[in-house]
């Protein structure tokens, strides 16, 4: 045992002797753990502590990051589409507008390919099919923006 851990153990023992842990909520009661069928019972306490601390299982944090990245890509595409529409209305040079939109579309395609790779990897680690995430349909995304503008 290291010098540091002995010191910590000594502080905890002293606090216990002084009764500093006597008035904690739930003292003497069984720990109330959420019944989660996707958590190994041996890890239930750890998952409960992480959840109460504001953390989520790794696969959920991965999913949230994917959804955030997709939302950002969609937002950038929507703003670029609005720019394209205004530029056409304002009489900007059509070749320049088409070239810029082509660049935006290529960048969007690359981002969606990256996102789809992350979704594929995410789907490999999910604990149950209920968490499955469909890949992003690139052509559907482009069609949606052209029809609805968002």
| Confidence at 17, pLDDT banded by 50, 70, 90 | confident
Q: What is the mean pLDDT of the segment spanning 129-146?
A: 94
pLDDT digits (tens, 9 = 90+) for 79-137: 999 999 999 999 999 999 999 999 999 999 999 999 999 999 999 999 889 999 999 99
C-alpha–C-alpha distance, residues 138 and 27, integer Å? 55
Range among 30-34, 42-46, 130-134 with highest mean pLDDT value: 130-134
Q: Sort 143 into a burial class: Cβ within 10 Å, 0-12 / 13-18 / 19+.
A: exposed
Q: How far apart are CA 71 and CA 77, in angstroms?
A: 10
Residue 65 CB neighbours (<10 A): 12
- 70 touches 116 (CB < 8 A): no
For the ranges 22-31, 94-103, 104-113, 140-149, which has the lowest average pLDDT? 22-31
CA distance 50 to 45: 9
- What is the reported pLDDT for 148? 86
Could you read off the pLDDT of 59-83 as tens digits, one per residue? 989 999 999 999 999 999 999 999 9
Q: Can you read off the two tokens belonging to residue 123?
A: 């789907």
CB count, 10 Å around CB of 73?
Answer: 19
The pLDDT of residue 3 is 67
Q: How many helices (H) and strands (E) does the chain have?
A: 5, 0
Query: Tokens 């009764």 appear where?
Result: 19
**pLDDT for the residue 18:** 86
38 compared with 56, residue with greater pLDDT = 56
The domain ranges of the chain are 58-148
> 87 CB contacts (<8 Å, ≥6 apart)?
97, 100
| 8 band by pLDDT with thresholds 50, 70 and 90 | confident
CA torsion angle 20 22 24 30 (round to 10) = 140
């Amino acid at each position: 045992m290291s010098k540091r851990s002995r010191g910590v153990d000594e502080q905890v023992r002293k606090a216990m002797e002084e009764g500093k842990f006597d008035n904690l909520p739930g003292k003497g009661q069984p720990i109330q753990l959420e019944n989660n069928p996707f958590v190994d019972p041996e890890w239930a306490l750890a998952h409960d502590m992480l959840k109460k601390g504001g953390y989520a299982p790794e696969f959920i944090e991965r999913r949230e990051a994917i959804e955030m990245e997709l939302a950002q890509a969609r937002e950038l595409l929507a703003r670029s589409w609005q720019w394209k529409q205004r530029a056409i209305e304002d009489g900007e040079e059509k070749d320049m507008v088409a070239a810029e939109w082509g660049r935006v579309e290529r960048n969007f395609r690359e981002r969606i390919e990256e996102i789809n790779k992350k979704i594929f990897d995410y789907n490999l680690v999910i604990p149950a099919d209920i968490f499955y995430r469909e890949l992003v349909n690139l052509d559907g995304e482009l069609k949606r923006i052209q029809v609805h503008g968002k």
